[in-house]
Structure 1
Amino acid sequence: MTHIDRRAARVILLDAADRVLLMHGGDPARPGERWWFTPGGGLDAAESPAEAAARELFEETGLRVTPAELGDPVHHEVTEFSYRHRDYRQDQHFFTLRVPAWEVSTAGFDADEQQTITEHRWWSAPDIEASTEQIFPLELAALVRRLTAASSAGALRPVGDPTPPRGGVAPGDLADVGRAHGVPSDGR
């Protein structure tokens, strides 16, 4: 089987209640199958993962941030999936961002997103663990727990928070939290 190689960037957006924002959607070629996933998508030509993550976050949620505010990736995986009858191998980096709260705007959806993303919801780690629905990445609940623990320790600040993190740990220093290489899944 031949795969189309693709690079992507995604954002684990956390609110003050330690919930992560997930989008719900699917592949138009498989109308009965749906799954939950973090905001994000493919990199444009010459775009860095952080630039793509910031762009995708704005397009899919209306939240505008700079790539620098996302810091370094906190998780990495390679996933394989099919979409519109094509097989992909996607190398994706996940960034994290904490906001006090956010009211999602889907006004920036492109035509494909309008067809495939049907809803969004904030999920706690226990909600993710208790769900029988498909949620990607597969280890998201454990990753959310590690990130919220880092946040409680002062290593992850909300956007626009001028207070320096406690202990001298900058948000970009979370690169080792939850990092996993080469974990295959069926997620997008």
Structure 2
Amino acid sequence: MEDDIRRAARVLVVDDDARVLLLRVRESDPPRAYWLTPGGGLDPGETAAGAAARELAEETGLRVPAAALGAPVHRETIRYRGAGRDVVQDQEFFVLRTTAFAVDTRADPGGLGAAERRTVDGHRWWTRAALADTAETVYPAVLPDLLDRVLAESAC
């Protein structure tokens, strides 16, 4: 069977204290938990920045124009199994610098979809040190180094 190909866009939401916002996902088949950046798949005809802004609003309640995200800062291709299918996901990461805010997964319009409501069960602002020290699974795996790079570039 061939892999499904999916394009996705994700956002590194970084607050004034250099913490990055991650969502906790718990899946039952197979049982596992992990943390990841807000984001998701592109809708037909949607740009990566447009998808990143839409997903950010749906998953956190924070609304920003796609232009506020600038150019992607990282790209990667991952493989995973989802809904009984093997998926190859090409994803782009954008950065949004903002003040910390209260995450609202029920924001209208949108909010978390039915599948996300079953699996997303928390969020947390992570420091670089916490990312480096955690035994929990965090995606992308390169997030600590990516955060270092993003913070160094914004300091210039």
TM-score bracket relative to the smaller structure = over 0.9
Q: Is contact 1:25–1:34 with CA below 8 Å preserved after alignment?
A: yes
1:39 is displaced (CA, Å) by 0.2
Query: What is the alpha-carbon distance in structure 2 between the residues aligned to residue 54 and residue 110 of structure 1?
Result: 16
2:128 corresponding residue in structure 1: 125
1:87 corresponding residue in structure 2: 86
SS at 1:97's partner residue? strand
SS at 1:118's partner residue? strand
1:29 is displaced (CA, Å) by 2.2
In the TM superposition, 1:39-78 aligns within 5 A as 39-78=38-77
Q: 1:145 aligns with which of 139, 143, 148?
A: 148
Normalised TM-score (structure 1): 0.78
Identity percentage of aligned residues: 45
Query: What is the alpha-carbon distance in structure 1 between the residues aligned to residue 118 and residue 83 of structure 2?
Result: 12
Query: What is the alpha-carbon distance in structure 1 between the residues aligned to residue 147 and residue 39 of structure 2?
Result: 17
Which structure shows the bigger proportion of residues in strand conformation? 2
Superposed CA RMSD in Å reads 1.0
2:35 corresponding residue in structure 1: 36
Query: What is the alpha-carbon distance in structure 2 between the residues aligned to residue 27 and residue 76 of structure 1?
Result: 25
Residue by residue over 1:92-143, the C-alpha shift from the partner in whole angstroms, topping out at 9 and shown as x without a partner, is: 0000000022111010111111011010001011111101111010110011
1:172 corresponding residue in structure 2: none
Paired residue type of 2:39: G
Query: What is the alpha-carbon distance in structure 2 between the residues aligned to residue 123 and residue 95 of structure 1?
Result: 17
1:2 is displaced (CA, Å) by 2.3
Query: What is the alpha-carbon distance in structure 2 between the residues aligned to residue 115 and residue 84 of structure 1?
Result: 13
Q: 1:134 aligns with which of 124, 132, 137?
A: 137
Matched residues, number: 152
1:68 is displaced (CA, Å) by 0.4
Larger radius of gyration: 1
Query: What is the alpha-carbon distance in structure 2 between the residues aligned to residue 145 and residue 124 of structure 1?
Result: 11
Query: What is the alpha-carbon distance in structure 2 between the residues aligned to residue 93 and residue 70 of structure 1?
Result: 11
Q: Which runs of 5+ in 1 are unaligned?
A: 154-188
1:16 is displaced (CA, Å) by 0.6
2:113 corresponding residue in structure 1: 110
Query: What is the alpha-carbon distance in structure 2 between the residues aligned to residue 34 and residue 112 of structure 1?
Result: 15
In the TM superposition, 1:150-161 aligns within 5 A as 150-153=153-156
Query: What is the alpha-carbon distance in structure 1 between the residues aligned to residue 3 and residue 27 of structure 2?
Result: 17
Structure 1 consecutive aligned stretches of length 4 or more whose deviation exceeds 6 Å: none
Query: What is the alpha-carbon distance in structure 2 between the residues aligned to residue 33 and residue 100 of structure 1?
Result: 31
Normalised TM-score (structure 2): 0.94
